[in-house]
Each structure stands twice: as C-alpha cells, then as structure tokens.
Amino acid sequence: MTTSDTVIERETTTRVGMQPPRMFNVVLYNDDSTTVEFVGLVLMTIFHKSFESASALTMQIHEKGRGIAGTYSFEVATQKKEETTLVAKANGCPLRCEVEKA
C-alpha cells in the first residue's frame, strides 16, 4: 500500500439530548369541613411525611389556604392526587387536591 492508498476512518459520536422529566406539585387546599387530623393522616400515609413535617404542612395549609404535599413526575403526582381524592371521599371529606407544574 502506498501513502496515496491509505484510508482514514473517523469515529463519530452521536449525543442524544436527554432531559429530566418535568416535575409536578401535588397541592392540598384548605376547606371548612376537613379536619386537620385527617389532612395530617393523608400527608403521613399517602405522601410519607413524618409526623412533624405533616403537622407543619397541615398548619401551612390551614393558615395560607394551600400547601405543596410533594413534587413528583406527572404519573406519580396524578396517582397521589387520585389516591388522596378517593380516601377523602371515602371518609366524607371534601379535601381538594390538584396537580400543577412545579
């Protein structure tokens, strides 16, 4: 092989742009019928908050009218909202729960 017959191969790399999934907040709203004990229980059982954290968040919801129970991917946030709504209805509570972009 002569120098004019040499073939140069280049290795190319393709980068695939991966972005983290968009996150969503699960928001609980204050109302006049749902007890603070029930809200605290929901925060501990569905959102896995400690007693102290659930108590503080419950007071925030009570005083400010709303509070973020957690931030998750859309699928998880939607599941948490549905679970919260079902538990609230089963216990006769009108607890309002919504999903919004974080």
pLDDT of residue 79 exceeding 70, the answer is yes
Does the residue 49 lie in any domain?
A: yes
**pLDDT exceeds 70 at position 3:** no
- DSSP line for the chain: --GGG--------------PPPEEEEEEE--SSS-HHHHHHHHHHTS---HHHHHHHHHHHHHHSEEEEEEEEHHHHHHHHHHHHHHHHHTT---EEEEEE-
For residue 11, is it within any domain?
A: no
User: Whole-model pTM?
Assistant: 0.80
Structure confidence at residue 4 (pLDDT): 63
- Is 13 within a domain? no
Looking at per-residue pLDDT, the higher value among 73 and 10 belongs to: 73
Structural domain range at position 43: 32-92
In CATH, what number is assigned to the domain containing residue 37? 3.30.1390.10
The residue-averaged pLDDT of 66-73 equals 98
